[in-house]
Amino acid sequence: MALIITDDCTCCDVCLPECPNEAISAGDDMYVIDPNKCTECVGHFDEPQCRTVCPVDCIPNDPAHVESQDELMEKYTKLTASQ
């Protein structure tokens, strides 16, 4: 399941450099997560790094993008294949 950033985001910038897939970017009023790049850090870390550093706990699972661990690993493999 990809993650999303809620409107509780304070744009503190701490999550941006933590994403190994560069799935986080600046939106109009807050940061946003590209569900096509978000693997919840599967393949990189044991837990989502953006969630670990977020001081306001505003990064829940995105119910619109439900994915299994296997699907997240497959996405990770595709994203890192060209590196």
pLDDT at 83: 65
Q: What is the mean pLDDT of the chain?
A: 95
Task: Dump the DSSP string for 12-69.
Answer: -SSSGGG-TT--EEE-SSSEEE-TTT--TTTTT-SS-HHHHH-TT----B-TTS---H
What percent of the chain has a predicted confidence (pLDDT) above 90?
94
Q: 1-64: which CATH number, 3.40.630.30, 3.20.20.210, 3.40.50.10800, 3.30.70.20?
A: 3.30.70.20
Strand duo 31-33 + 24-26: pairing: antiparallel
Domain range annotation of the chain:
1-64
How far are the Cα atoms of 16, 23, 42, 72, 74 from residue 77, in angstroms, in the given order? 21, 15, 10, 9, 5
What does the pLDDT look like over 20-59, one tens digit per residue? 999 999 998 899 999 999 999 999 999 999 999 999 999 9
- Across the strands, what pairs with 33? 24
